[in-house]
């Protein structure tokens, strides 16, 4: 009886842990593509930090894809796999100086920002994507938040 109780308790705790982690997952990933040798990353990161302070919420997670060296590259690949945005990782890994806003559920890229957008526009795009209150006066036209061209092409396609 003690073994059965222990097994049931373990199973229940495991179920609670899985449920808790599933409910804590964000709706939107803000994926920063960077490297130490990136000329525009400093300005973009400063603006993004300010934008993320404006967003604040559990619906949004900032994720960094860093290709500075092989170890960071591998860590970033695991991060993309764990959060299930591998297609975007494969498409842009090695390209730096921009941020992709990705919907976690649909895995769709909503838009991208770079050092060309100010923190206010970045925050507005992120808030809009996450369903948070945002300033309607700022245009969220997809042309304004266009993503860079694909850097890596799948040889099978």
- Can you give 83-113 as a three-state secondary structure string? HCCHHHHHHHCCCCCEEEEEECCCCCEEEEE
Instruction: Give the model's pLDDT for residue 106.
Output: 94
Distance of CA 25 to CAs 16, 17, 57, 89, Å?
A: 14, 13, 11, 19
Distance CA 73, CA 52 (A): 24
Q: Which of 91, 95, 69, 96 is nearest to 80 (CA)?
A: 91
The C-alpha torsion from 129 through 135 and 138 to 140, rounded to 10°, is 20
- Domain at 26-130, CATH class: alpha beta
pLDDT in tens, 81-122: 999 999 999 999 999 999 999 999 999 999 999 999 999 999
Q: Where do the structural domains in the chain lie, given as residue ranges? A: 26-130
pTM score:
0.78
Distance CA 21, CA 124 (A): 27
């Amino acid at each position: 009886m003690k073994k059965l109780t222990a097994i049931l308790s373990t199973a229940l705790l495991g179920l609670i842990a899985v449920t808790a982690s599933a409910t804590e997952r964000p709706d939107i990933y803000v994926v920063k593509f960077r490297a130490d040798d990136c000329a525009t990353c400093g300005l973009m990161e400063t603006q993004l930090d300010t934008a993320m302070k404006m967003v604040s919420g559990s619906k949004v997670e900032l994720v960094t894809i860093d290709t500075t060296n092989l170890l960071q590259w591998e860590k970033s690949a695991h991060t993309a796999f764990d959060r299930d945005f591998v297609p975007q990782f494969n498409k842009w890994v090695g390209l730096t100086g921009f941020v992709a806003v990705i919907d976690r559920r649909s895995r769709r890229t909503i838009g991208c920002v770079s050092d060309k957008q100010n923190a206010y526009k970045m925050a507005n795009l992120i808030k809009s994507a996450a369903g948070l209150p945002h300033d309607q006066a700022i245009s969220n036209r997809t042309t304004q938040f266009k993503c860079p061209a694909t850097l890596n092409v799948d040889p099978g396609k």
